[in-house]
Amino acid sequence: MVAPLAAALGCGLLIGIERERRKGSGPARELAGVRSFALVCVLGAVGTFWSRPWLTVVGALFVAALGVVAYARDKSGDPGVTTEVALLLTYLIGVLCTWSIPLAAGLAAGLTVLLAARERMHHFALHWLRPGELRDGILLAALVLIALPLVPDRPLWGPVLNPHVIVRLLALLLAIQALAHLSRRLLEARHALALSALASGFVSSTATIASLGIEVRDGRAGARPMAGAALVSCVATMLQLLAVAAAVQPAWLQAMWLPCLAGALVAALWGRWLLAHDAVADGEAATAHADADPAPLAAAGRPAAAPHAASASADAPGTDARMFSLPGAALVAALLAGVQAAIHALERALGDGGLLAGTLLASLLDLHAATAAVLVQGPPPADGGPPTLLAALMGALGMHAASKTVTAALGGGRHYALRLAPGLWLHTAACIAALWGIDRWG
């Protein structure tokens, strides 16, 4: 009995201290402070010890009535119900202390953080968050909370064309784009080139490599920093492979998370080294051109903005930036589903040879589509899946690296490709080697 009462007292004091700092004084002061919150929380615990449910209900009604009276007598000119609702919730936390002290303590801590973050939350909602971002957030929440549970979860043809998997994949693509967009806004402007490349990589790493290469070919940027940014975009490729696995065949996550993170780490470190190395010579050239032509990454699907000013322009007042492109993500999801169906058709017609040939051809266009088509066929070999799936996955990674190398040479020329290729193939080899090692030694 002592432990629940002590926990209730501690929870009430924690919440009450925060409310006491905002209580104010005089006729316009808030309903309750540190003592009231502590007493109400203990009241909830004591009432429950009597094993009379009606007594707990009466206590809740009493606390609610206090809140109604306080709201009716509010003379501040700006009435709110935060303290009143918090007081009732504190009573319920006291009741919960007799059932689960850890859960009650967690709720009390969460409530205190929520109450203390008032100014920051108001600033976020009223000033930092833009109308377009708000609309995108509501759309994403509706997709995840309403549409996804209602979509049927059964494949329409063999193991492919599952509407639930397609919608889940669409939601993941939108969430990744939103996270990349918010990261660009939150981090410093000097990281804008790398962040722009990373965000563009979530749309298309191949397109990002091509667009950065065009900057180099036209003499508007140095080959080394552009190659570094291109490698950073490959980090997005590795992370999206994990997202595809989680959406299409979660059983593959255990086999893929370490190889994908190893590949992403190698790409990030090599790209960071290229961006930092000889920054005076190459960085000044890139910055000088960016001031003249503010669209180095527009072709990769990102908003046109100078690399060194992307974050600044993202925070400019009056802009209505969007967190993601719904048509673009829907097109990618449809492409993934179409490639899955095509490769499944080849496998049915030609067997394992059709699976390998279809996967390699698909990886030339889009690695994620090829990967999704492989993973949807079954679990990894360690869980009873055919070894052909792992061979097809590793072949797709190698073919995609070759495709990116050719794209870099055609888009940016020899110097750009030579600076990009070592890191590109090294991070691909790290991923393939880790996949092979995990399959062989578990």
What's the pLDDT tens digit per position in 327-352? 766 776 776 666 667 766 766 676 65
Same domain, 330 and 430: yes
Final residue belonging to a domain, choices 87, 104, 125: 125
Pair (135, 82) in one structural domain: no
Asked if residue 296 has pLDDT above 70, the reply is no
- Say if residue 116 is in the same domain as residue 157: no
Does 307 score more than 50 pLDDT? no
Average pLDDT for 257-264: 91
> End of a domain among 78, 95, 125?
125
On the question of pLDDT at 27 being above 60, the answer is no
Residue 173 — very low, low, confident or very high, per pLDDT cuts 50/70/90?
Answer: low
Percentage of the chain lying above the pLDDT 70 cut:
71
Q: Supply the pLDDT for residue 93.
A: 93
- Assess whether 105 and 157 both reside in one domain: no
Give me the pLDDT at residue 422, please: 93
- Domain containing residue 294: 131-441
Amino acid 56: pLDDT: 81
> What's the pLDDT score for residue 332?
62
Average pLDDT score over residue span 160-184: 73
Tokens of 414: 């020899």
* Co-location of 102 and 244 in the same domain: no
Please tell me whether residues 98 and 83 are part of one structural domain.
Answer: yes
What digits encode the pLDDT tens for the residues 379-433? 887 777 777 788 888 888 888 888 788 878 887 888 889 999 999 999 999 999 9
Same domain, 97 and 62: yes
Report the range out of 286-290, 296-300, 344-348, 385-389 with the highest average pLDDT.
Answer: 385-389
Domain count, the chain: 2
Alpha carbon 233 to its chain centroid, in Å, reads 16
In this prediction, residues 79-86 reach a mean pLDDT of: 78
183 compared with 205, residue with greater pLDDT: 205
Per-residue pLDDT of 211-234, as tens digits, reads: 778 778 877 678 888 888 889 988
The pLDDT of residue 284? 45
Final residue of a structural domain among 90, 108, 125: 125
